[in-house]
Amino acid sequence: MRLILIGPPGVGKGTQAALLQERLGLLPISSGDIFRAEIREQTPLGVMAKSYIDQGLLVPDDVTIGMMQGRLSRNDVREKGFILDGFPRTVAQAEALDGVLAHLGLGLSGVVAIEVDDEIVVSRLGGRRICPNGGEIYHILTNPPRVEGHCDVCGTPLMTRPDDNESTIRERLKVYHNSTRPVIDFYQAHDQLVRVDGSQEPEQVYEQIVTELPG
Ligand code: AP5
Ligand code: MG
């Protein structure tokens, strides 16, 4: 299965991608996680991306498309199915992705738009903690780690993402409404879209995704 997850910051894209990986063996590919890995390694791409990410702005299309083209051309993408989390985020990225997949001879199984009110997003992201090592996602109230402040998988101290402060979250939401919602219309027009209610519990969101996808 080859899927795209689209939705506002904090709606649960990463959480659902992890469930789809664990239960269906799909390969999660998160553009945000790739940027954060580049930032950790202080590569030129990472240094450049950080200046946008810290402000809640999108990294320019040409850079993002080039990076994702490289990632999608690797063999594991062809061997397993995948879940794209956070890409495409502009109509130009969606059009570029169509070209990349056509070139690779791969089709999409579906596009899932997860939707939720902005205020829910702000409270979810305020309590999010992530593992800087494996990327595991927690929430201090709704999904706490077994040992406070440490990853269940590797024990690494958890961190708060630098872009999870309220003013940056509000900027990310604005960018989502202006630049990414048109991507939902793009896939709706191509009859590839499934809409899911992201305000439910993670298990219910997962059930809705797997039930409503074609095939
Ligand atoms: P990215 O890393 O993609 O961030 P985002 O889209 O803002 O989304 P998040 O990762 O914040 O949220 P999520 O939907 O994954 O939610 P999660 O599962 O963690 O991008 C970061 C930045 O990189 C962008 O701002 C941009 O600058 C740049 N970038 C990335 N891709 C780009 C692109 N294509 N083009 C240009 N720039 C790009 O869940 C959030 C919290 O809620 C967690 O604590 C979780 O435990 C909890 N939770 C999850 N689901 C539920 C639920 N159902 N109920 C209750 N709590 C829940
Ligand atoms: Mg995420």
Residue 214 above 80 pLDDT?
A: no
pLDDT at residue 215, rounded to an integer: 65
DSSP state of 84: E
Q: How far is the CA of 69 from the centre of ligand 1 (A)?
A: 21
- Whether the CB of 206 sits within 6 Å of ligand 1: no
Q: Where residue 213 falls among pLDDT bands split at 50, 70, 90?
A: confident
Give the pLDDT confidence of 89-106 residue by residue, as tens digits.
Answer: 999 999 999 999 999 999
The dihedrals phi and psi of 209, each to the nearest 5 degrees, come to: -65, -50
The dihedrals phi and psi of 122, each to the nearest 5 degrees, come to: -60, -40
- CATH class, domain 2-212, is alpha beta
To the question of pTM greater than 0.85 for the whole model, the response is: yes
Give the pLDDT confidence of 44-58 residue by residue, as tens digits.
Answer: 999 999 999 999 999
Residues 27/80, Cβ–Cβ less than 8 Å:
yes
- Whether the CB of 13 sits within 6 Å of ligand 1: yes
Give which of 201, 121, 205 is closest to 163, Cα–Cα. Answer: 121
Judged on CB neighbours under 10 Å (0-12, 13-18, 19+), 170 is: middle
Residues 7/16, Cβ–Cβ less than 8 Å:
no
Per-domain residue ranges of the chain: 2-212
The dihedrals phi and psi of 96, each to the nearest 5 degrees, come to: -65, -40
Residue 181 above 70 pLDDT?
A: yes
Give the pLDDT confidence of 108-132 residue by residue, as tens digits.
Answer: 999 999 999 999 999 899 999 999 9
Query: Which of 4, 6, 13, 63 has the most ligand 1 atoms within 8 A of CB, as the residue to mutate?
Result: 13
Exposure letters 178-207 (e unless 16+ CB within 10 A, then b):
ebbeebbebbeeeebbbebebeeebeebbe
- Residue 122 has a CB neighbour count (10 Å cut-off) of 16
